[in-house]
Structure 1
Amino acid sequence: MGVAGPPGPVMDRDEVDRALARLGEEHEAIETSLLALQDHAGRRLLEGAELTGVTKDRWASTEQAITLLWSHFDAYAAALHSAREVRSRRRWPSREDLVELTDRLRGPSVTVAGSAAHPPSSLTEPAKLSERFTLEGLVSRMNTLYARSLDVVVAADTVWSALPARIDLLSAELQRTRSLAHSVGVRPGEHPSGDDLESITHELSSLRTQVVSDPLAFWSPASASSAPGGGRPDTARYDRAARALEDVRREIEAVLAVRQDSEERLFRLRDVLSRADRTLAEARAARGEVLAKIAASEVPAVSGPPTALQERLVTAAEYRRHAQWHRLSPLLESLERDADDELSRARESLTAVTAPLAVRAELRGRLDAYRAKVARHGMAEDPLLIERYDVARRMLWSAPCDLRAAEQAVLRYQQAAADVLVPRQAGPADHRGNA
């Protein structure tokens, strides 16, 4: 081993002792790390699992790397032991001892099997039979193999520690939601939410199976060469399933709410439709009155009772009677909108039909208000005012009433009253002015 001479200057005794101490510490640290890796829960799980996909391939490679680590460590330990034996020959090593120790401690003194230590880069490249390392170089190689092996073990263990438990909790929530859904008639093939629950069930089952057999497929490293633990589980599929279940759960809660308050909502619907029916009946009666009492007026037609809505209300009551809550829920929502719209249309129809009567009432009120004003000023017996009042009153209190002519008659009476009242109102002012 000393034919070619030691690499670099020959080490003195202190340098040899310091190097041996440092390499001994490295030996202890590496041994501790290897034993920890050997006892790592993730490694034991990987050894016992039926792996598939990415994890199966990477674990096969990692097992070889761990085996190689131990063989490297054994070679390192043997080389360190041999160097210590050389050092222990004498308290004060000779020149020959120092040359040999320098060669052992700094030179490529450790030989390992080449096919395992340095696999060929391609199929055509022949494998090396052996490879030589310095002790420090071998430590560097072991650190690299250890880091890569630990990456795989930690990643798989992290995924297994995180996802299956979360999937199981979500599956339990799924079962509770399925039970609630079944109680309100939400079933696959009968309601979209039932189909969604079926789909989520299959997805969670498939996801758990894949996570257990191929955890590394659900690992997102922090970088291409992340340190151990440098990454996180990929929860995208789990998150989608959780959101889908939450959407279904809200839908089921809405259906449950229908079961709880459906009687009150049906009562309100009956009341709204009854009011709409009465309002339309009043509008139809008012239309007949308008046609009889008001001449030359366009009166809008009035629709019939809301029979279609009444039929849907009967259907809703049947759904409630047979506990078909999933069908009742959307029907009640649409019925409530349509019933409110129907009541609004009925009120608008009544307002439109009775508009001519409202105009007549307003003209009557205006005529009487001016007559009272005239009377307060002592002009009630004025012949012109009496004549014009009588004309306007006959038009407004006779049937059919011509609203246009009646309005003109009221205006003529107002004008006559104004002509009579203005001089009388100005008289006292003129008198005060003359005074």
Structure 2
Amino acid sequence: MGLTLSQIDRLLTDWQQKSDAANRNLLELYDLPAYQRLSGSGNPPSNVTGTTQQQASTALTAIERLFDYLELFNRQIDRACRLRKELPSLFISDSQLQEIEQLLLGLSIELPEAQTPLAQRDLVALERQTRSISLEDLLNRMMVAFAIARDTFVAVEIAWTELESKLIVTHRSLAELQQLAQNLQVDVPPSLATAQANFTDLQLQIDRDPLGLNLAFTQDLTPLIDNARRELESLAQQRQQLQADFAAALPSLQYLRQLDRDSIAAYTESQSKISHGLPTFSSIPSEEIAELERWLERLKAKFAAGTILAVRVGLTNWMQKVQAYTVAATAALTANRLPIDTRQELRGRLDALSAKALAKGKAEDPILMDLATRARAVLYSSPTDLNLAIDLVGQYERCLNRSLTC
């Protein structure tokens, strides 16, 4: 049993809506700047190459086929609509309804196929074979062709738009990195030089292969720029660290000088006020400290000229040398102060022991009095015989302790 009139009307409405949508979408695709440039609508087509040329060729073939399909599609629907309008209001025959049904659902559209090569034809074969398909089959073919064309032209449109933005951003990035290299007074890194050369080439090719260039930006150019940025930013950080190290270098050298002066002063005082005392240590030779100053000035000059890596190594060695001298100077100062400090400690000890003897009623003990008198005479004489002073204070303490236990 065939379709009723109401069913045919619903089908016609549905196909008309699909036809309207197809026409709108195809016109919107036609208006894409990428399609206009690639197809040459109104102007010579863009002379694209590479990936863009391959995909654009397929897309242009698809859209050409799509226009042919759309013409068949619209013609079939128009024919069905015309037959529907011609139907009488009463006494509609089944054959009239079947004719419209065949147009809408049957294999009623003759679709020309590709030309058959002569080698594959027999005597009565036609040059071109045709096949009949339904309106639904034709719509499916149209949708496949539209998807191919849409995806390609939209991708090209996006690629051109993105490339314009990428060109601006990349140009700015390259300029910033070039300026950073100049500020650091270093040679342009090889990765940056390669990126600049590639960027110049890509600028010339942007209109010819946007799809290929978009990929080249991601795979080739961006990693080069990232590598150059990391290298230069690392140098910038090293430069900042060197500036901080240089700022700390002079105070550390001044501190070393002061340590050495204090050590010499302590040594001189110990030599003049102490005899037969603990050993003392000499200071760092003045020529060594002067050489450290000259070395630092040479490093500063190289740094001002833009040398970073070698200066970093040199300054590290310089700081290690200063640190070693500082440790030695600190030890010398401590050793040179020790005799004077020891004498002062002995004076305090003797006073404390004398006070203890007084408190215990032993202050007038003849032996203790003699030891105290002799110890004070030695401790307050110059130069002080430190060994003798140590011995006398020790005797006084032992004698006092014995007297307290008796």
In the superposition, the TM-score normalised over structure 2's length comes to 0.74
User: What secondary structure does 2:132 align onto?
Assistant: strand
1:113 corresponds to: 112
- Correspondent of 1:198 among 172, 190, 193: 193
Alpha carbons 1:11, 1:98 under 8 Å: kept: yes
User: What secondary structure does 1:115 align onto?
Assistant: strand
Alpha carbons 1:295, 1:402 under 8 Å: kept: yes
Q: Distance in 2 between matches of 1:69 and 1:54?
A: 22
Q: Aligned in 2, Cα 1:373/1:146: closer, same or farther, shift over 3 Å?
A: same
Q: Distance in 2 between matches of 1:42 and 1:406?
A: 104
Q: CA deviation at 1:183?
A: 4.7
Cα-to-partner distance string for 1:138-196 (whole Å, 9 max, x where unaligned): 112211221232122222322332344134223224314423532552333xxxxx545
Alpha carbons 1:164, 1:212 under 8 Å: kept: no
Q: Distance in 2 between matches of 1:90 and 1:207?
A: 64
Whichever residue aligns with residue 25 of structure 2, its letter is: S
Alpha carbons 1:316, 1:328 under 8 Å: kept: no
2:365 corresponds to: 382
Q: Distance in 2 between matches of 1:391 and 1:134?
A: 134
Q: Distance in 1 between matches of 2:191 and 2:369?
A: 82
Question: Is 1:134 the counterpart of 2:115 in the alignment?
Answer: no
2:292 corresponds to: 309
Q: Distance in 1 between matches of 2:180 and 2:83?
A: 79
- Correspondent of 2:56 among 31, 51, 59: 59
Deviates more, 1:277-286 or 1:13-22: 277-286
Q: Distance in 2 between matches of 1:324 and 1:311?
A: 17
Q: Distance in 2 between matches of 1:208 and 1:422?
A: 104
Question: Is 1:341 the counterpart of 2:323 in the alignment?
Answer: yes
1:89 corresponds to: 86
Q: Aligned in 2, Cα 1:100/1:266: closer, same or farther, shift over 3 Å?
A: closer
- Correspondent of 2:257 among 273, 277, 292: 277
Q: Aligned in 2, Cα 1:414/1:296: closer, same or farther, shift over 3 Å?
A: closer
1:43 corresponds to: 35
Q: Aligned in 2, Cα 1:360/1:57: closer, same or farther, shift over 3 Å?
A: farther
2:5 corresponds to: 13
Q: Aligned in 2, Cα 1:203/1:355: closer, same or farther, shift over 3 Å?
A: farther
Q: CA deviation at 1:381?
A: 3.3
Q: Aligned in 2, Cα 1:402/1:31: closer, same or farther, shift over 3 Å?
A: same
Q: Distance in 1 between matches of 2:132 and 2:391?
A: 123
Whichever residue aligns with residue 389 of structure 1, its letter is: A
Alpha carbons 2:350, 2:393 under 8 Å: kept: yes
Question: Is 1:155 the counterpart of 2:150 in the alignment?
Answer: no
Q: How many residues align?
A: 382
Aligned CA RMSD, in angstroms, stands at 4.3
In the superposition, the TM-score normalised over structure 1's length comes to 0.70
Cα-to-partner distance string for 1:367-414 (whole Å, 9 max, x where unaligned): 3332344356664432222333356557766768565x7656434322
Whichever residue aligns with residue 95 of structure 2, its letter is: E
Question: Is 1:30 the counterpart of 2:22 in the alignment?
Answer: yes
Q: CA deviation at 1:308?
A: 4.3
Q: CA deviation at 1:59?
A: 1.8
Q: Distance in 1 between matches of 2:223 and 2:378?
A: 76
Question: Is 1:76 the counterpart of 2:73 in the alignment?
Answer: yes
Q: CA deviation at 1:29?
A: 0.6
Question: Is 1:415 the counterpart of 2:398 in the alignment?
Answer: yes
Q: Distance in 1 between matches of 2:385 and 2:258?
A: 27
2:169 corresponds to: 169
Cα-to-partner distance string for 1:45-84 (whole Å, 9 max, x where unaligned): 4455443433322221111111111111111122222223
Alpha carbons 2:114, 2:129 under 8 Å: kept: yes
User: What secondary structure does 2:87 align onto?
Assistant: coil
Whichever residue aligns with residue 28 of structure 1, its letter is: D
Alpha carbons 2:343, 2:386 under 8 Å: kept: no
Q: Aligned in 2, Cα 1:255/1:234: closer, same or farther, shift over 3 Å?
A: closer
1:324 corresponds to: 305
Q: Aligned in 2, Cα 1:136/1:280: closer, same or farther, shift over 3 Å?
A: same
Q: CA deviation at 1:307?
A: 4.1
Alpha carbons 2:110, 2:133 under 8 Å: kept: yes
Alpha carbons 1:273, 1:339 under 8 Å: kept: no
